[in-house]
Amino acid sequence: MFRPFLEQLRQHAVPVTLREYLGFLEALKAGLAQFDAEGFYYLARTTMVKDERHIDRFDRAFAAAFKGLDAITPQAMLEAVDLPAEWLQALAEKHLTEEERAKYRALWQRGLHGACNYYRATPLVPPRAGDPGAEAVQIPEHLCTIPMPTRVLWGADDFALLPGLLDGLEAWIPRLEIRRIAGASHWLVHEQPERVTAELAQFLQEKL
């Protein structure tokens, strides 16, 4: 299924070994990036790029291999996937109460166009042929600096937003505190709500 992707990586001179490619497939099989395009991108990059000098090549290969995927509508994707209802139910019950699921369903019934359009409009995407993506974004330094006390809670197992994104963050947030939460992923708020609540309460008590 992903042989064309592997061929694009090699055509773009990304040195991917068979072992790294098989590791990527094993990670997908284990469900580390299920139905999450951004998570899929970072998983592929993490498992198959071992030198940061090759990231630009990887991005071009990724764009070439999956050209046109960004034009697929969420509705078409859901119809094509045909997920088993019992699988979706088990996944929801893992982190959400029935009351929380009801709230999500009520919001989704209003439509998902706004949420999807946010991701369609954002320029913070990997570069593609004819589109520099995030590389073209220029933001004045004073608009990037947060002078207020800030505590960041980060799931250590987040495959969509990798922990490496925290590196150098203190340059933009001088009064920064980082809490890396073990055993938590992109859904930290649902996985460890008591920890999140305790961290927020402690932070507010200290700063107010």
Least confident stretch, 29-33, 52-56, 167-171, 179-183: 29-33
Nearest-angstrom CA–CA distance, 145 and 178: 16
Q: Comparing C-alpha atoms, which of 71, 75, 140 is closest to residue 108?
A: 75
Q: How confident is the model at residue 174 (pLDDT cuts 50, 70, 90)?
A: very high
Nearest-angstrom CA–CA distance, 125 and 146: 23
Structural contact between residues 42 and 160, judged by C-beta atoms closer than 8 angstroms: yes
- Tell whether 39 and 18 lie within a shared domain: yes
Indicate whether 36 pLDDT > 70.
no
Q: Which residue range forms the structural domain that includes residue 159?
A: 141-207
Number of structural domains in the chain: 3
- Tell whether 89 and 124 lie within a shared domain: yes
- At 204 the pLDDT is 94
Structural contact between residues 24 and 33, judged by C-beta atoms closer than 8 angstroms: no
Q: Which of 15, 41, 67 is the last residue of a domain?
A: 67
84-103 tens-digit pLDDT: 566 556 666 666 778 887 88
- At 80 the pLDDT is 46
Q: How confident is the model at residue 153 (pLDDT cuts 50, 70, 90)?
A: very high
SS3 labels along 105-148? HHHHCCCCHHHHHHHHHCCCCCCECCECHHHHCCCCHHHHCCCC
Burial 55-82 (b: 16+ CB within 10 A, else e): eebbbbbbbbbbeeeeeeeeeeeeeeee
Indicate whether 190 pLDDT > 60.
yes
Indicate whether 152 pLDDT > 90.
yes
Least confident stretch, 43-47, 123-127, 171-175, 182-186: 123-127
Torsion angle of the four alpha carbons 51, 57, 140, 200, in this order, in degrees rounded to the nearest 10 = -50
To the nearest whole number, what is the mean pLDDT of the chain? 80
Helix (H) or strand (E) holding 176, with range, is strand 176-181
- Tell whether 200 and 149 lie within a shared domain: yes
- Tell whether 158 and 197 lie within a shared domain: yes
Neighbour-count burial of 167, counting CB atoms closer than 10 A to its CB (0-12 exposed, 13-18 middle, 19+ buried)? exposed
